[in-house]
Structure 1
Amino acid sequence: MLTAAAVAFAVAVVSVICWFLVQGKLYNEVDSNLEGMVKDGRPPSALAVTNVLNNCSRTPPPRQDIGGGPQNLYYYQLVEADGTYCVAGTAPAVKVEAGDKQVARDSATSRGRYRNGTDAEGHPVRVLTTPMPVDGPVAVYPRVARMVSLSLTDTRNTLNELALLLLGVSGLGVVGAGAAGLGIARAGLKPVDELAEAVEHVARTEDLTVRIPAEGEDELARLSRSFNSMTAALGDSRERQAQLIADAGHELRTPLTSLRTNIELLARSEETGRAIPPDDRRALMSSVKAQMTELAALIGDLQELSRPDATRSGPQKVVALHDIARTALERARLRGPELVITADLQSWYVQAEPAALERAVVNVLDNAVKFSPAGGTVEVALRRGELTVRDHGPGIPSDDLPHVFERFWRSPSARSLPGSGLGLSIVARTVQQSGGEITLRPAPGGGTEARIRIPGVPTPPPSEAP
């Protein structure tokens, strides 16, 4: 409809302009013919003009039936300043207007005028009124004007036919434009219909595998590709969520099964009255406590991973990475008293959430302590914004390195050790939120080396330093 309306407006404007241009052209041709009529012949004498006026009938001649109709009429008449006129020939008189009388009164100075008028029978005519040229002394110069006219019947008929033609062409143009606009709109909006159907299908069936064909580089193609990217991202998120639930269930099953078994043994001992030996009971209670601790740690890690990015941590602030590393080292020494842990820490300030960053550093050191042999050494260094933690344990096989930051992933050689497989995943996310990166690689001479790089920030004033 908008296309048809725009075309209709444009065609109407063009048609009106065309009609007025043709009208002006036709009128110019008629005016040229009138000018040629008044320039033919020599001017009559003043006496001759006076005699014609004195002897001319002051009333219009009776209607003459001439061949060809009014469109072939040629009009000629003289007009005096008082409005009286003298008609020459058999054509009807042309109605005299005030402007014609003014030309007669100012015959010595007037240059004439063009106008449209009608004859005595109401036929349209084009009139040229000019002063009557007279050959004679100025003293006897008569105050008279001549009116020469040509019928406008043919011109008006031509203009009416042109108007009908333009109207018909305009109508066809509007209808054609409307039909073309409808076809183009349907073809152009087909991707939108497909997108709407896809959205309705996804909302109805929750099927995120739907894809819309996207061809070209226009806005609709970009919209289709964006929708495909969104559904693909949602599908991946759903798969990761399902995998997380499955992995969490698998990880929870082992400690829950062991915990259930131990509790059942304790309950059976109470029911049967058969006491468990003190040493076995202490070992059983220690196992229950260890399993409860493992469950609590696993649930805490799951809660940490399940929170949205906006609520995973508190506000970031400028913190001293070297101080956080020292605090983590103290905890690591308590967990591995038989290990030698060395430290070379230079000052480095970063923008991060303190508690989350400390937990990340602690997790990295815990891994180093866990995989170090008894009496082994863990080397920690912080130089130029890079924190390295190197152990001398069995190391990580090269095939396992691409998976170490995946949730619940654990190397086959480490599945017998305590842990949920979420620690390095949390570390990687925390470091990335601080704008840094973490890498693991085999260390020269054996073991594993973890490298954490976080961009530094200006050193805070003493009053703000942690």
Structure 2
Amino acid sequence: MTVAVAIAVAVAVALAAFVAYLAVRGSLRGEVDRALEEQRVVPPPGVAQGRGGPFGQRFGRLPARFGGATPFIQLIDAGDGVELRGPEPIAMPVAERARDVAAGVAEAYFSDVDVRGTHTRVLTVPVGDGVAVQFGRSLEPSDSVLSRLRLILVLVVLGGVALAVALGRLVSRNVVAPIAEVSDAARHIAQTEDLGRRIEVQTHDEVGELAEHFNQMLDTLERSVAAQRQLVADASHELRTPITSLRTNIEVLAESEALPPDERAQLLEDVEAQTTELGMLVADLIELARGDEPRRESEDVRLDALVSEALTRARRHAPGITFEAQLEPAVLDGTRERLARAVNNLLDNAAKHSPPGGVVHVTAGPSGVRVRDHGTGVPDEDLPHLFDRFYRGASSRGRPGSGLGLAIVRQVAEQHGGTVRATNAPEGGAEFTLELPATTPTGEVEPTTPSLWRQ
């Protein structure tokens, strides 16, 4: 990055210096040309007509300082004649183009010539009768200025490059350092699996946003890993009891061949019940683990139809419970399988805590799903923990279940941008509200079930 900045600045400064040099050179040349234009003189008519004698070349010595403020002047004809008319008898070289100007076949022009080692600017103009006059002025003062200017511009370019390198390193240090810190943090995490490291956000620019997003990613990853570890720890704890009990019963069955038939039947019944409980626990654990995965492809789900299907299932599993339902058409963008599992868990929980012959009220619509039972309700101290994994209140410890059903409900609600809460109804019993971002379908929709029905 520093090299790129230095090259860019060097090119920019060099171009600016080149343009400045051309501008100064053009200005100095312009001043010399204007001075030559002002020095135009017409030679005496006798000389122009040849009456002053034939043209001859009279060369004299070169003065210590050629030109100066007074231009050098010489007359030329179309042939090879040259007549010196300047204060110093110094002849300038005559080009073929200058003879053409004297002959009247070319226009006046400026040219640079070398006169005995002196860089000279020459203006050649016709004066008629086959004669042209040449005015010369030394360019040494201009060349001296341009030489010093070139040195200054070179120093400016070099200084600009040096300054660009210094600024480039400073900028690179400020810009690259946070990126390098992010890279070091990623390398450290990959090598040590330490998710507790964070990057200090010192700026609010794009690099600062990168560091902040990286920290947010680490927060999410750390929570996910912590949840997985907690799930494994909780599962190990919860699986230990039924597995130990199952192993004990199997050992008793294997070693006690002389058990009475009724005791043997009781042991087999216990083994079957423990196996079922273990299977339910494993299924719930798998469901929780699947819920930690990224959300699958979603679809439009008719929430009222989904609740209607869940009620049909609940009636089969709890035939002694009456379900009263009020369903309104509602559409939700989500994963049908997971939503059905959440609704089934709410209905199973309500049926499990209802007295024999009890009634469960269910409403569903654009606001979500509400399930209310007429059981004993939930103790106030249990309400904040109902949706924790493996939590079982005092009133639930004697009932079958893994303690994961409501945790799955909360997980599904959060995945779909909703919430779930539990309260105690004023008339008795518990009420669970699953709020989901559902909407009323557009157009005419046929209800899947009567809006109010009992079973």
Same fold at TM > 0.5: yes
Match of 1:127 in 2: 122
Residue 302 of structure 1: SS of its match in structure 2?
Answer: helix
Q: Cα deviation per residue 1:410-449 (whole Å; 9 max; x = unaligned)?
A: 3343233221121122233445556655432221222111
Question: How far has the Cα of 1:196 moved from its partner?
Answer: 1.5
Match of 1:77 in 2: 74
Question: How far has the Cα of 1:350 moved from its partner?
Answer: 5.2
2:403 aligned with 1:408: no
Q: Cα deviation per residue 1:216-271 (whole Å; 9 max; x = unaligned)?
A: 2211111111111111111111111111011111111121122122222222313x
Question: How far has the Cα of 1:77 moved from its partner?
Answer: 0.4
Equivalent runs, 1:391-406 vs 2, <5 Å: 391-406=373-388
Match of 2:452 in 1: none
2:295 aligned with 1:287: no
Question: How far has the Cα of 1:379 moved from its partner?
Answer: 2.2
Counterpart amino acid of residue 126 in structure 1? R
Aligned 8 A contact 2:47 2:53 in 1: no
1 CA distance for matches of 2:178 and 2:241? 51
Q: What TM-score, normalized by structure 2, do the two folds share? A: 0.86
2 CA distance for matches of 1:102 and 1:400? 116
Question: How far has the Cα of 1:197 moved from its partner?
Answer: 1.3
Match of 1:25 in 2: 27
Question: How far has the Cα of 1:93 moved from its partner?
Answer: 0.9
Equivalent runs, 1:41-190 vs 2, <5 Å: 45-51=44-50, 54-57=53-56, 59-62=57-60, 64-68=61-65, 74-88=71-85, 89-106=87-104, 112-119=108-115, 121-132=116-127, 142-190=129-177
2 CA distance for matches of 1:106 and 1:314? 92
Residue 39 of structure 2: SS of its match in structure 1?
Answer: helix
Match of 2:260 in 1: 277
Match of 2:361 in 1: 379
Question: How far has the Cα of 1:203 moved from its partner?
Answer: 1.1
Aligned 8 A contact 1:357 1:430 in 2: yes
Among 228, 233, 239, the alignment partner of 2:215 is 228
More displaced 10-residue stretch of structure 1: 453-462 or 147-156: 453-462
What is the aligned-residue RMSD (CA, Å)?
A: 3.1
Equivalent runs, 1:301-340 vs 2, <5 Å: 301-307=284-290, 316=299, 318-319=301-302, 321-322=304-305, 324-340=306-322
Question: How far has the Cα of 1:402 moved from its partner?
Answer: 3.8
**Residues 398/124 of structure 1: CA separation in 2 closer, same or farther (3 Å cut):** same
Aligned 8 A contact 2:314 2:347 in 1: yes
More displaced 10-residue stretch of structure 1: 451-460 or 276-285: 451-460
Residue 283 of structure 2: SS of its match in structure 1?
Answer: helix
Aligned residue pairs total 443
Among 193, 198, 202, the alignment partner of 2:189 is 202
Aligned 8 A contact 1:74 1:91 in 2: no
Question: How far has the Cα of 1:293 moved from its partner?
Answer: 0.3
Question: How far has the Cα of 1:308 moved from its partner?
Answer: 6.3
More displaced 10-residue stretch of structure 1: 44-53 or 417-426: 44-53
Residue 397 of structure 1: SS of its match in structure 2?
Answer: coil
**Residues 346/210 of structure 1: CA separation in 2 closer, same or farther (3 Å cut):** closer
Among 408, 417, 427, the alignment partner of 1:445 is 427
**Residues 218/409 of structure 1: CA separation in 2 closer, same or farther (3 Å cut):** same
2:30 aligned with 1:9: no
Q: Cα deviation per residue 1:87-113 (whole Å; 9 max; x = unaligned)?
A: 124342111223322332239xx8732
**Residues 397/342 of structure 1: CA separation in 2 closer, same or farther (3 Å cut):** same
1 CA distance for matches of 2:245 and 2:328? 45
1 CA distance for matches of 2:296 and 2:176? 45
Q: Cα deviation per residue 1:111-138 (whole Å; 9 max; x = unaligned)?
A: 732222222x242111122233xxxxxx
Question: How far has the Cα of 1:60 moved from its partner?
Answer: 4.4
**Residues 212/106 of structure 1: CA separation in 2 closer, same or farther (3 Å cut):** same
2 CA distance for matches of 1:276 and 1:23? 121
Residue 421 of structure 2: SS of its match in structure 1?
Answer: strand
More displaced 10-residue stretch of structure 1: 74-83 or 13-22: 74-83
**Residues 79/44 of structure 1: CA separation in 2 closer, same or farther (3 Å cut):** closer
More displaced 10-residue stretch of structure 1: 184-193 or 431-440: 431-440
Aligned 8 A contact 2:389 2:403 in 1: yes
**Residues 113/53 of structure 1: CA separation in 2 closer, same or farther (3 Å cut):** farther
Q: Percent identity?
A: 37
Aligned 8 A contact 2:345 2:405 in 1: yes
Among 182, 192, 205, the alignment partner of 2:179 is 192
**Residues 48/10 of structure 1: CA separation in 2 closer, same or farther (3 Å cut):** same
**Residues 52/279 of structure 1: CA separation in 2 closer, same or farther (3 Å cut):** farther
2 CA distance for matches of 1:10 and 1:313? 54
Aligned 8 A contact 1:130 1:147 in 2: yes
Q: Which ranges in structure 2 are unaligned for 5 or more consecutive residues?
A: 450-455
1 CA distance for matches of 2:233 and 2:58? 113
Question: How far has the Cα of 1:171 moved from its partner?
Answer: 1.6
